[in-house]
Amino acid sequence: MGSLKLFASTVSLLIVVYGTAVRAARLRCGEKGSQPGYWSTVRLASDFFMWQTLDPTCPLVDCISNYLESEHQVPFPTILIFGDSVDRFLIDDFHQVVDDKVDMPEAKKVALKSKFTRHHTPGVSLEGPYHLNEVLPKSPQMVIDEAKRSFESLAQVPDVVVFNANLWDIGRLWAWDRGTFSHDHLDESFSRDWLRNGSHILQLIQVSFASSVLIAHTTALPALESCDTDRHAQAPTGRRTHVVQLNALLRELVLQNPRWHLVDVELLTLHFWPVDKYLRDTHHPLPFVTMNMLNVYLNLYLDYV
């Protein structure tokens, strides 16, 4: 009897240790969207360069191809995005990838393309005024509540929720605070306010979508360098100095909110490519970048199921 008790205790201990190790590995691999990596020779979705982590214990898999080419054991996740035009391009680029699959049944194409819902997020300011206020008067709270009601009306919960507000915040400065916007460096009070408001918004999303995988992403560095660039008036939301600082603030925000994962798009592009090789204009990344963003989302999601 004593031997049985010892055996049972040993098994229980092994289960606990194994479970702890799995949770620790999952937590570490949950950082795969912000880990150092490289552009591999593997072709993502048979067409794009593929970003791969340097850590061999937390590799990225070509989830897009897996979903496109076969019947995956885990259904394609529903993805709710609170973001800007970068996220619109991501959805459009995925739709194009799906449409290019000439042998895919039309019903499957429709099903895959229906998995995305996107809501404009007018920056992290809680009270406004907001960029494009005349056509987008909703606060972040209103946008989040609207998305929650929409999913509740369908008796659904999004599998993945993505947040990004970088370009909207810069656009807000351009529209309503030219004094701050005209300087290359955002001041300390702006940074403090951004972190406080951003944390509040992440908490709102986390409470509203408690069971979803939560992801925030940085923005690819734009082509325009600084306030002295003659071309900056053509794209006020695409100035590198401001994007770099807001990306840094977002990284800090994710560190302060451990339920959230970071997908660092700046990391994927910085030092690897000249801007004309990863941007389709002054600040929107090309499809190979957006599809790698999506692939990291899918990898993070599959770590949970």
The tens digit of pLDDT for each residue in 198-252 reads: 999 999 999 999 999 999 999 998 876 654 444 444 445 557 888 899 999 999 9
Q: How far apart are CA 163 and CA 15, in angstroms?
A: 36
Q: Check residue 13 and give its pLDDT.
A: 37
pLDDT at position 136 is: 55
Question: Which helix (H) or strand (E) is 62 found in, with range?
Answer: none
Of the candidates 110, 95, 103, which has an alpha carbon nearest to the alpha carbon of residue 294? Answer: 95
List, in order, residues 6 or more apart from 200 with CB less than 8 Å away. Answer: 126
Which of the residues in the chain have pLDDT under 50? 4-26, 227-235
> What pLDDT does 236 receive?
54
| pLDDT (0 to 100) of residue 128 | 66
- Sorted by where each begins, the domain ranges of the chain are 31-302
DSSP-derived secondary structure letter, 76? P
Contact status, residue 45 vs residue 65, Cβ threshold 8 Å: yes
Residue 254 pLDDT: 96
> Tokens at residue 104, please?
């895919």
What local confidence, expressed as pLDDT, does residue 105 receive? Answer: 93
Query: What CATH number does the domain located at 31-302 have?
Result: 3.40.50.1110
Q: What is the pLDDT of residue 26?
A: 45
**E-assigned strands of the chain?**
37-44, 48-53, 79-83, 116-120, 160-163, 213-217, 260-263
The whole-model pTM stands at 0.86
